[in-house]
Structure 1
């Protein structure tokens, strides 16, 4: 899955657990719904094109050609993600693609950890996948979650019993949004509120990681507003225009395959390190991304974040900002005064201590 937040939070949790003396492996699990992008002929079952293009081999080939024409610009991005995985993530020697494979040949460990990112978002495939609820392996193996995200405001009634049953096997549960604590509490499940793993690493560690990136020449010599808007949101476009008009700096966009027509520089081959570097060197960051927001805070940047259009998963951003006194940076229509990061750092440090305590108590207790 070629997602900046997923890769960087996986590295952060791995690094932090290793710093405590644990041997850590990330389960190399890649289900079908995370494989579609670079699988030339794969057509998701829920795609609008499935009926039309899956009917015969010729039509599937046509689909593959059309698809590749759209995403060919992102193969450089894919390579940088793959290089990041090889260099920084320690995966299990066994690769898994189904829950059945995990159950037939589970990874051997003292503790299984679920987290982080939107693994329990029941409006997505992964939120219904037993694998993300650690429904495999020996029943005596300890199971915990760290900063798992439910992301949505509620779980459908039809899934409540399923979720309750799957999470009953966990020794300790933590999530990264206050709303998630309440949702699970309503199911009779105790959960603690912790920070996303990227916050467990200090600013200097992330800045050091950022220096390993390939820099775009335009961002070396110019001040810029960084835009990460994967939905081409008009609210973001209008706000960025206001920022550019006031400060007179470049607009640099991190893209998938579609460029932003109002950006001065469009970058579609950024990997996780490049993402970090672009945030670290920007004057302003405007996005609809949780992890762009998280790294803006860690690296003490001026930022603005908007809820995703048509999606019910903004609770994680709202909870994070509210807890740090940064509510005015959410869905803003006006340019705000600069953030007092001394106050933010104090609040963040307190939350870091609580998050670290959860990990220490969960991983070392009764071992």
Structure 2
């Protein structure tokens, strides 16, 4: 956002309690940007960032903050299911692909897997690339339908942080691919994957996607619950401080 001050709540009146929750830088901080970030963030009363890497960067420039998990993790599987609405494609088993960046190699692995398993392939993306036959492409859907595709998918292929996150929350087997080097958001993908010890789901590890892969979702769910508790505690303390200040 080219250091747009709006994202630092520059519009807020003086003496307002300022806080962030799971904010993401989404890029590397250059040396020239560090003084600007320091000046703007020292005005905040509570700072929470999404990535451990962002927390470390801010500590280096003298800004105290904590790391909290992305807000999507504050909703559990049951809550997501209640929010979703039925989609026409859910009557038969399908493999779901959700792409933020074009990847023919990743797409081919998903296509090969769906053929091997004799399941339909549904692709959610706004990216223009080679269209394959016998594939359903979804370029428009609302959030309730979007969630439903993840709920009903048998297996998921994604290079999106939130595609990964929804798969994790819903306890779905998925495979991911890191974005190309020119994209600067791989740190958030790497952080969430390593946090849940899911490196085994990196599609680059496999020439052909394995039929069965074991994931300890009990361990995953315990970690989510722990992070939810930490996050709610942070938010309560921040809002209680605001009430006292007023």
TM > 0.5 between the two?
yes
Mind listing any 5+ residue stretches in structure 1 that lack a counterpart? 1-124
Higher RCO by CA contacts (8 Å cutoff, separation 6 or greater) = 2
Q: Note the 1:183-202 alignment, pairs <5 A.
A: 183-202=57-76
Rounded to whole Å, the distance in 2 between the matches of 1:239 and 1:183 is: 36
Shift of 1:139: 1.7
Aligned to 2:172: 301
Question: In 2 relative to 1, CA 260–352 (structure 1 residues): closer, same or farther, beyond 3 Å?
Answer: farther
SS in 1 for 2:157: strand
Aligned to 1:287: 158
Q: CA-to-partner distance for each residue in 1:303-332, whole Å, 9 max, x for gaps? A: 112222221211111111111111222353
State the TM-score, normalized to the length of structure 1: 0.61
Task: Give the length in aligned residue pairs.
Answer: 237
The answer (yes or no) to whether the contact 2:48–2:65 under 8 Å persists in 1 is yes
Aligned to 1:229: 99
Q: CA-to-partner distance for each residue in 1:133-166, whole Å, 9 max, x for gaps? A: 11122120100000001122x2011111111111
Shift of 1:259: 6.0
Aligned to 1:16: none
Aligned to 2:138: 267
| 1:140 and 2:140 matched | no
Aligned to 1:358: 234
Aligned match of 1:312 in 184, 189, 193? Answer: 184
Aligned to 1:246: 116
Aligned to 1:345: 221
Aligned to 2:128: 258
The answer (yes or no) to whether the contact 1:148–1:176 under 8 Å persists in 2 is yes
The answer (yes or no) to whether the contact 1:318–1:330 under 8 Å persists in 2 is no
The answer (yes or no) to whether the contact 1:260–1:266 under 8 Å persists in 2 is no
Q: CA-to-partner distance for each residue in 1:5-40, whole Å, 9 max, x for gaps? A: xxxxxxxxxxxxxxxxxxxxxxxxxxxxxxxxxxxx
Mind listing any 5+ residue stretches in structure 2 that lack a counterpart? none
RMSD: 1.8
Question: In 2 relative to 1, CA 257–366 (structure 1 residues): closer, same or farther, beyond 3 Å?
Answer: closer
The answer (yes or no) to whether the contact 2:125–2:138 under 8 Å persists in 1 is yes
